Structure 1
Amino acid sequence: MSRYLLNKFLYTVDRDPELVERYREDPAGTVAWWEAERANAILNCHSGERSSWLEFEDAERQALSTHDYPKLFELGAHPFLTLTLFIALFERDHEPLGFQREYARRLAHFSLPYPDIAT
Structure 2
Amino acid sequence: MSKYLVNKFLYTVDRDPELVERYRTDPAGTVGWWEETLANRILNVPDAEASTWLAFEVAERAALVAHDHVALFELGAHPFLTLTLFIAMFERDHPEPLSYQKGYGQALAHLSLPYPDIAT
User: When the two structures are superposed, what TM-score results if normalisation uses the length of structure 2?
Assistant: 0.97
> Would you say 1:63 and 2:63 are equivalent positions?
yes
Gaps of 5+ in 2: none
- Partner in structure 1 of residue 51 of structure 2: 51
1:47: Cα distance to partner?
Answer: 4.0
CA–CA separation in structure 1 for the residues paired with 2:6 and 2:38: 12
Matches for 1:1-119 after TM superposition, within 5 Å: 1-94=1-94, 95-119=96-120
Runs of 4+ in 1 over 2 A off after TM superposition: none
Gaps of 5+ in 1: none
CA–CA separation in structure 2 for the residues paired with 1:48 and 1:99: 40
Count of residues in correspondence between the two structures: 119
Q: Secondary structure at the match of 1:64?
A: helix
1:96: Cα distance to partner?
Answer: 1.5
CA–CA separation in structure 1 for the residues paired with 2:104 and 2:118: 18
Q: Secondary structure at the match of 1:87?
A: helix
Work out whether residues 41 and 47 of structure 2, in 8 Å CA contact, stay in contact via their aligned partners in 1. no
Identity over aligned residues, as a percent? Answer: 74
